[in-house]
Amino acid sequence: MFETVATYRRQAESVEADLMTRTTDLATLIDPPFRLPNVGGSADCWMRQKGHAGSFTASGPPR
């Protein structure tokens, strides 16, 4: 069981590191005036355009 937990933790830490990259990118997005090239004003679309496929929400890890 502990081995499984350790695996989960490594995965989660990796995902958190990826999310840190995303939020750092997003932080530049709100530097006004906003630059949302052809994404219809959606932060999620913008992230996808930047190559961050999938989303990561409280319901589970990225798919």
Partner 1 sequence: MMTAEARALPFGHPDRRYFLAVDGRLRLWTQTQALLDRVLKARPLPLLPDEPPATSPEYAQLLAYQRCFDRLHGYFSPTPPDLYAAVTGRHGDLPYPFTGFLRLMQMIRRLALAMGRTGQVSFLDMGCGVGLKLVQAAEFFDVVHGVEYDAERAEVAGSLIERSRRAQDRATQGDALTFDDYGQYDVIYAYKPLSDPELLQAMERRMIAQARPDTILILPYFEIDFRFDDLGLTRLSDKVFLTGGAGRDLTQVLQKAGHIGTILPQAVIGLPGAEGFTEPLRQALRHWGHLA
Smallest gap, in angstroms, from Cβ of residue 37 to partner 1?
Answer: 13
Q: Which is nearer to partner 1, 43 or 49 (CB)?
A: 43
For partner 1, the closer of residues 28 and 38 by Cβ is 28
Minimum CB–partner distance for residue 29 and partner 1 (Å): 7
Contact status: 42 vs partner 1 (CB under 8 A): yes
Tell me the one-letter amino acid at 1.
Answer: M
Sign of the torsion angle spanned by Cα atoms 52, 25, 47, 55: positive
Q: How many other CB atoms sit within 10 Å of the CB of residue 62? A: 13
Query: What are the start-end ranges of the H helices in the chain?
Result: 2-29, 43-49
Residue of the chain from 23, 37, 38, 51 that contacts partner 1 (CB under 8 A)? 23
